[in-house]
Amino acid sequence: MIAIVDYGMGNIRSVEKGFLKVGADAMVTSNPKVISDAKAIVLPGVGAFKDCMKNLDDLKLLDTVVREIQKGKPYLGICLGLQILFTESEEFGICKGLDVFKGRVVKFRFPDDSDLKIPHMGWNTVMLTPPPPIFDEIPDNSYFYFVHSFYVIPEDEEIIAGRTEYGLEFTSMVWKDNIFATQFHPEKSQELGLKILKGFGEFANKA
């Protein structure tokens, strides 16, 4: 069973529906024991980094999530679920993250005369560098759906699995061992997004 972590933020149910649509056994939960017993963890979310960390802490889920990741349990982070993996975010002042990966979360900054809007919202391409195993049969430079104002800057470039252009080239996906995380939303990215969810489910079953 895949545990989709419910911490009171974001598009939890649409992620669950996506997994169920591709035949994966997924369950929304905020129970630490259920998360510990699950085959894999998915942490989605839309909103503020600080609120995400506070809600996880209030639910006593921070230690559980980090412990299970460190044990090698497959993890899929979506949007905020990517960002909180890093050391800190500058959103609303410096806020500490899970520090699974060293790096920072920073805001897009463009000149006043720029045509680019914040948040970065809509469809954009992802350059795979290289593709993680859950991206089987997904072509390079495919389009996925984004909605975010902040992006991650990893210290270790070897974990970068995807890059996207929006005024600058930013990290849109990371991958290391059991950890997969995307800035874009697979559950909102139609057929290719469902392929990612299916690929993660298959990876979890083999783990």
Catalytic residue among 16, 52, 68, 79: 79
Residue 16 CA from chain centroid, whole number: 14
Is 185 designated active site? Answer: yes
Catalytic residue among 16, 68, 91, 187: 187
Is 120 designated active site? Answer: no
Is 79 designated active site? Answer: yes
- 119-124, long-range: CB within 8 Å, 24+ apart, which pairs? 119/147, 119/148, 119/149, 120/146, 120/147, 120/148, 120/149, 120/166, 121/146, 121/147, 122/146, 122/147, 124/164, 124/165, 124/166, 124/172, 124/184
DSSP string covering 98-161: --SEEEEEEE----TT----SSEEEEEEEEESS--GGGTTPPTTEEEEEEESEEEEES-GGGEE
Which residue type, as a one-letter code, is found at position 65?
Answer: V
Catalytic residue among 95, 120, 148, 185: 185
Which sequence positions are flagged as catalytic? 79, 185, 187
